[in-house]
Structure 1
Amino acid sequence: MPKPCITAITIHQFRNIVSAQLKTAPVNIISGDNGSGKSSLLEALYYLSHLKSFRTSKTQRLIHHDHDHFILNSTISSDKDTHNIGLQRTSSHEQTLKLNGEPTKAQDIAYHLPMQFIDTQCHQYFTGGPEKRRQYLNWGLFHMKHSFLSTWRACTNLLKQRNAALKLRQLNDLDCWDHQWIPLCESIHEMRESYIEELNPIFIRLIKELLNTEYPQVELRYQAGWNSDKPLALLLQERQYKDAEIGYTQLGPHRADLQMFINKRPAQDYLSQGQMKLSAYALKIAQSILQKESIGKSPIFLIDDIQAELDSSKQDRIIQLISELHNQCFYTALAPNKLLQSLNGNMDITQFHVKHGEFLIGSDQHTIQSSPEKPITH
């Protein structure tokens, strides 16, 4: 069995899912018409790990109509033991988190439940703004470098203090904040730079295979958020009056980026949207390979509509690469039979069919019985 592995998930009043208790397998296929609730299951799983939706920032949209809260519970098998994670979120934004029946913190849930999500818009990892790419770096370092989270939080808190001084034009206070902030910026830069050095060869191997084209030079290029060839203290001093005019700090790790280059030019100058999607898959798979090689733990994959805009051979190879990680996967599909063929039928697979938020299991489509609402204390 993959580690970690969700063995059971209970969902109450989330989106169009009123109530469902699902026993899950290492590989899970969720089929159904558009709007049936396929993506809502992935969204519930994602929320359980990340404590946010990949579709909306408005809690009320996640709660089933005529209710004021939703509840998610899961049982997770890890290397040594089993964990129960419970979450309740209300329309008034109150949130309760529990791990094995005890109140817990978001980072503890994220640690026990690492999760990768890939959907039909994944090409935007390269064509969109840098925020998602920074999140990608931070997620990888959170799971591989124990010191990263505390360093990042301290850095973010000090940045807020620095920005507050800039807005008030208290420039004499900047030296005090920079004395504490700059070493944290440099530490984050060093961790990110080292991470990309490890990630790059894995990504390059995957991208060349998936694109089936031999480019003379393919690389991920990390940008620190400032010209790292110069002291950050000097650059900040040179820009302090410009920063004061706009009221925030323009240089630092909060402005970092990660770009794919081909022949020393941005990849989007060369690649189609379909090829950019393949590149995004390579990015996520490479990160998972590195994580497994480094800490022996691979994330759970949530893949929404892998069949969209990818030909059969590319789908097959992506599924094979993910399968080689021996991690748990949840796939949504309009055509599950084709997906089953790609999986070769040699894995422990559970099929769910969704209709109007209700789940049916297996080829004979038995309805999964709904259950009364459960507390999140178990």
Structure 2
Amino acid sequence: MIRRAKATALWVLMALLLNGCWDSKTIQDVNYLTAIGFDLIDGQYAVYVQMLDFSSVAKTEQGKAAQEVPTWVGNSTGETLGVALNKLYRTSQMRIFYGHVNVVVLGKGIIEKNAAKDPRELLARYYEMRYTPWLFGTKGDIKELFTAGSFFNYPPLISLLHQPNETYLQESLIPPMKLVKFAAEFREPSNSVLVPSVVLSKASWQSGGTPKPMFLEDGCFVFQNKVYQGWFRMEELYGLRWFNPETKRSPLIIRSHNGKPMVVLSLESPKVTIQPLINKDKVAFSLNVTLTGIVSEALLPLSEPDLQRKAEEQVQAEIRQTYEKGLKRDTDLLRLEHELYRKNNQVWKRLRSREDFHLTSESLQIHVHVNMKHAQKLKY
């Protein structure tokens, strides 16, 4: 009898120990962040967070919502980022959860002070935070970015800020940047890292006659050797799309001598090779780019050989222009020095030790070949 009582007590105790749901919380008892932003304003660190009501978001999966999905934005300031975040906790009412953060936005102030590493190091200490969020910079107000909506009362999760790959597939300009990619490339010697810059634009879309702000990538914040080099307009970076193997497709307008559009091409899938050319203590680079071209609009007659030649000349000119824009600010936008570091490390070390690595206009040879296809239906 005593043995049976002991066995029963043991089983009851084991059952109690196996119960692991005592501290579980229901979904409505937690604040789930979807985006977080950092800035440096008047010597104070500023933190911005975006929260959504996930019950409303779930309803939109069955169709568009009858009303706009509410977005909550919080912000606080402090002497450090950690202090600013802890101030935010005081008014959050419920526990904040970082596991659903999909976007990290860096403000102009924190970027220009070369403090971009501070948010990265802070987030790395939060076990809930992953390295998978998208990373953007902005010259605008982060609070306005986080309050912007989307089409048809959809939540902000369905936007360029949270899903940048969708627009990149249709027009490839600057490749989207993940936080994990930034962390890896930021540490690479002699590497240049381009963080896409995003703003709100009211120029294109209206609803009921009222302009609606939508996200727009307007350029890039560039870091080189862990140092901020400056912000570049999108028009200054057009050459990068032909240089990047990640490019899906991008338009190229062929113009006549008086500037009128003649043909619009869709150039796709660049194949790029970079070969360092070493002559004693001088280094140059041979860049070879091969693209596939499809005619999407033919406005004026142009023979295929002439079209191919003009396309190759224009692609070469755009790459050259982007390269020269970088040189004016002592920035290697094409990451040529990093190619030398990877392909001929001994030469790179020797030149670096003597501080004798300098890029000039003559340091780059560009060769472009465009394989033309006949006009056909484009896949949009």
Band the TM-score falls in, shorter-chain normalisation: under 0.3
**TM-score calculated relative to the size of structure 2:** 0.21
Structure with more strand by fraction: 2
Larger Cα-atom Rg: 2
Higher relative contact order (CA 8 A, sep 6+): 1
**TM-score calculated relative to the size of structure 1:** 0.21
